[in-house]
Structure 1
């Protein structure tokens, strides 16, 4: 990027006077509709995370007007008090004063690492997630989703990048040093103390009586089959599909998405190549899909190959019951978060010799 372009971008991203109480620190991440910064709240004396939403679109971000800002803030606020959800503090909508003004959503600062980065780190260090670790992570995320759905909120963008890790190693009340510093994501993570929190509510929607849900046009390898087929007949089980994808990623140990693809068609081919097309064709909403959408389904999808992908040596039958229930292509048969948490896999675990041996090794082997 040319120096003049950099200066222009910095000028456009400058915070307004209404944000004077916050001292901006390093950027933590960015998406299509916003960028997130670490900041010091000079009034409350603690570190926070601030998402800047673009009011102009001149900075490469999707324009977020008052309706978009209000929607995201409302969904976050509805999830206040849920331990596995990033907590909303306040919103500053500069667009009220200026047509092209930016808006800012202030949230609790969670940590330096997201689940994608953690998975990739584990790949680099050749340390796969055990089934017990995957169960612990999934329990937290499903509990968060259950509570979120209980408040009528659909996330619609569940993916590892939107799951943040809090391992309790950062002091939120210690003022960060001034100057541009990179977030340290290389240090030790205390895996048994990590709290996993769902963030990234930029696409979220609040359900309401008689309220029709919009078509989801921004699709990812974590989008449910009904969304890939551009159906507007969806509910909170689009989020549990995304959680099923995360569970599969954790078990596969590659650090990448199991359904990754360069286009919606490639993603669909991978999805139905593994879970099959039988389920989606049995869905009551399938007949209402446009013919050109149905034609995108793989012709030889057939039955599910999910168990072949995750054989018993990788995943117990109780664990597979949860995985296959979350990655059910028929949304009417897919597990809700509440239903998934009732499965035996999340019940009290029996401790055989293998688990006893592993528990004896805690504190002997280095935690990475």
Structure 2
């Protein structure tokens, strides 16, 4: 998967594969570029803990981060690679230029290879798993990465993660409660509103209407309605990225 992403500036670079020596000669080691800096998760947490106050990313900072991540993911998808575990902890932030590098492709899959038939449990990190993964769908493709990017975007501008639960069932309930249910999806008389509460969690003083359009498109409940990474980068919000 790393080899397929070669040349993508937003994905950590694979330098070579090295064989161990002596008793470890049958072990293979991936040698990757070294990124001096912290993970995006560490950066977000440090802002939340600074002097007991929360300092979310500004809209221009968020736009720069998302432009890099969407650009990197769009190239991955173009080469048939789905990361399947995108989260702030799997994004490295270079300390010198702030260049982002997506890493840890341990759960990545190719879109041209069918999922294993013995795959029984959903894989990923709670809080960033798309609804279709939580519902047990096996043949999940690129939209799961787009959903995760939406969760990361919300992490940057909101006071806390959208879905902090560790329990997958509870996370699905939280998704339904936050985003509502489309009119064409029936949950019987369960009292679930079709109205989204996403704007309440990410108010306009933190994210403009143009930015919210991107966030909302990344977090569409139905994967068929979700933006692609390429389409997201063409949204009006990114037109001002060069001016940031």
Instruction: Name the counterpart of 2:47.
Output: 122
Matched, 1:342 2:224: no
Instruction: Name the counterpart of 2:180.
Output: 276
Instruction: Name the counterpart of 2:171.
Output: 267
Matched, 1:88 2:14: yes
Larger radius of gyration: 1
Q: How does 1:239-254 map to 2 (within 5 A)?
A: 239-254=145-160
Q: Which among 123, 137, 140 is matched to residue 218 of structure 1?
A: 123
- What's the offset of the Cα at 1:117? 0.4
Paired residues, what number? Answer: 234
Instruction: Name the counterpart of 1:76.
Output: 2
Structure 1 length-normalised TM: 0.59
- What's the offset of the Cα at 1:281? 3.0
Structure 1 alignment gaps of length 5 or more: 1-74, 169-192, 283-293, 356-368
User: Using the alignment, how far apart are the partners of 2:184 and 2:88 within structure 1?
Assistant: 25
Instruction: Name the counterpart of 1:104.
Output: 29
User: Using the alignment, how far apart are the partners of 1:347 and 1:213 within structure 2?
Assistant: 37
**SS of structure 1 residue aligned to 2:41:** helix
Structure 2 length-normalised TM: 0.87
1:277-312 alpha-carbon deviations (Å, 9 max, x no partner): 227938xxxxxxxxxxx89xx752532211222222
- What's the offset of the Cα at 1:123? 1.4
Answer 1 or 2: higher relative contact order, Cα 8 Å, separation at least 6: 2
User: Using the alignment, how far apart are the partners of 1:301 and 1:104 within structure 2?
Assistant: 50
- What's the offset of the Cα at 1:313? 1.9
Q: Which among 139, 143, 146 is matched to residue 67 of structure 2?
A: 139
Instruction: Name the counterpart of 1:237.
Output: 143
User: Using the alignment, how far apart are the partners of 2:109 and 2:241 within structure 1?
Assistant: 36
- What's the offset of the Cα at 1:224? 0.6
